[in-house]
């Protein structure tokens, strides 16, 4: 069983999707700890309700590198194998990414490489999508590297934009896809079905395994 650590900054709906996925037996893992950089993040309450250990670490108490070291300490203390960024609004340090290379998953509310990178987070993404006038957006789950939203892509799904969509309605449609994709990606990771070659993430299927045998 894979030990999972989840980093959050807000409401925690993606965290709830992971909790539900574990409860339903979809994800062969367990959340060992939820860590937030915001004291009022409702995701901490969600964790407590699910009897999951939750921690608030104040980023104002130290510099960014020291802050990441504190998080790493909490994760390693609990033997965390996989780190999931579920609406975590901080950039991870190089040291953090090296410690969990190819074991950090992030969810982004657009079809990377569109509407991603520095400054593209939360409602800003959906606002930019609507302003640009594209007809489709979506969600992306990817591994985290040293760039911002530049890591190898695991899963993506398209969301159609309607003429009457607002930031709020589009956000809800994309969130629904986010929840599904994030659970699927974690499920695949826990089943050891993901491999990375360059920028390509391969998903091992039962058919592939049979052909190898």
Residue with tokens 């594209």: 134
**Cβ burial 37-64 (10 Å sphere, 16+ → b, else e):** bbeebbbbebbeebebebeebeeeeeee
Active site residue 108: yes
SS3 (DSSP) at 136: strand
Distance CA 170, CA 148 (A): 23
Three-state DSSP class for 201? strand
Catalytic residue among 73, 108, 142, 179: 108
Any idea which residues carry the catalytic annotation?
A: 108
């Amino acid at each position: 069983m894979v030990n999972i650590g989840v980093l959050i900054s807000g409401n925690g709906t993606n965290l709830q999707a992971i909790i539900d996925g574990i409860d339903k037996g979809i994800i062969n893992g367990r959340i060992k700890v939820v860590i937030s950089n915001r004291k009022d993040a409702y995701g901490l309450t969600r964790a407590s309700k699910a009897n999951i250990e939750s921690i608030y670490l104040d980023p104002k108490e130290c510099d960014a590198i020291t802050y990441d070291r504190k998080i790493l300490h909490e994760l390693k203390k609990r033997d965390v194998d996989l780190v999931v960024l579920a609406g975590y609004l901080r950039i991870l340090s190089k040291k953090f990414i090296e410690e969990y290379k190819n074991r950090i998953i992030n969810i982004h509310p657009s079809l990377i490489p569109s509407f991603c990178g520095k400054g593209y987070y939360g409602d800003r993404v959906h606002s930019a999508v609507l302003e640009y006038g594209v007809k489709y957006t979506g969600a992306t789950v990817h591994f985290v590297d040293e760039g911002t939203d530049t890591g190898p892509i695991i899963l993506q799904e398209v969301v159609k934009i309607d003429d009457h969509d607002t930031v709020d309605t589009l956000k809800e449609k994309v969130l629904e896809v986010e929840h599904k994709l994030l659970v699927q990606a974690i499920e695949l990771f826990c089943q050891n079905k993901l491999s990375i070659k360059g920028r390509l993430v391969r998903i091992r299927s039962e058919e592939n395994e049979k052909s190898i045998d």
